[in-house]
Amino acid sequence: MPSLMKRHLQWFAAFLLVLLSGKVFALDTVALLDDPAMVALLAKKCIRAETCGVLPVRFEAVADLLRQPDLIWMIQDEYGRSVSKGGKNEFPIIGTGNGAYHYINEKNQRTDIKELYRRQTSDSTVDLVYHASGKRYFGKYEVLIHVRAIDAGTAGTLYLAAIHAYPHNPPLRFFARKFGSTERYFQRKTAMIARISTRICEGMCGHAYPTYTERRIESFAGFL
> What whole-number percentage of the chain has pLDDT above 90?
29
Cα–Cα dist 85/91, whole Å: 12
∠ CA 20-21-23, nearest 5°, is 110
- The number of CA neighbours under 13 Å toward the Cβ of 93 is 19
User: What strands, in cross-sheet order, belong to the sheet with 157-167?
Assistant: 47-55, 157-167, 139-151, 125-136, 110-122, 100-104, 94-97
Q: Calculate the CA dihedral of residues 40, 94, 193, 67 and round it to 10 degrees.
A: -80
Whole-structure pTM value:
0.75
Average pLDDT of the segment spanning 121-145: 91
User: Going by C-beta distance under 8 Å and a sequence separation of 6 or more, which residues neighbour residue 204?
Assistant: 65, 74, 75, 78
Digit-coded pLDDT (tens) for 75-108: 888 877 766 666 677 778 899 888 999 999 888 9
Structure confidence at residue 214 as a pLDDT band (50, 70, 90) = very low
Q: What is the pLDDT of residue 53?
A: 81
Going from the N-terminus, what domains does the chain have, and what CATH number goes with each? Answer: 3-223 (3.30.530.20)
Alpha-carbon 177 to chain mean position: 24
